[in-house]
Amino acid sequence: MPIRDAVPADLATIAGLIRALADYEDLSDEVVFDEDDLGRHLFGATPVAAVLLATDDHDDVVGMALWHATFSTFLGRPGIWLEDLFVRPEARGNGHGRALLEALMQRTPGRLEWAVLDWNQPSIEFYERLGARPVAGWTRYRWTAAPA
C-alpha cells in the first residue's frame, strides 16, 4: 500500500478527512479548527504534528494517520501518539489502515499509542488483529483551553 508524508498541498484533503472522521464518529459539532491554523501546526516553522497519507492505485488519498511524538520516561525512548486514523469507508478492507499503522511502527523505537471510542467495535477488532491491546487500569483525562 502506498504511504507518503503529507505536504502543504495536502491541507484541504487532510481537513476533509478530519471532517469525514468526525461525521463517522458522530462528532461533527466538535470540529471547529481553522484550516490556516491547522496548516501552520502541521507544516509551519515548528510543526507539532504530522500526517501520513494512504493512496490507492490511482494515487487518490483514501486515508490518513495524524500523529505526534511522545516520550516514555519508563522506556526512556520516544514514541508516537496516533491522534487520528481514518480510511474512507469505500476503501476499507484493502490494507490501508494496516499500512498506515505499520509505517508509524517503523518510525518509533518506543510505543505507538492511541485511543478508540468504546462503541467502535470494527476498529477495536482491527486493532486487536494487529496485536494491540487496551491499557488496563488507565482512564484518559482531558483539559481543553478556552477558545481564543
Active site residues: 127
HEC sequence for the chain? CCEEECCHHHHHHHHHHHHHHHHHCCCHHHCCCCHHHHHHHHHCCCCCCEEEEEECCCCCEEEEEEEEEEEECCCCEEEEEEEEEEECHHHCCCCHHHHHHHHHHCCCCCCEEECCCCCCHHHHHHHHHCCCCCCCCCCCCCCCCCCC
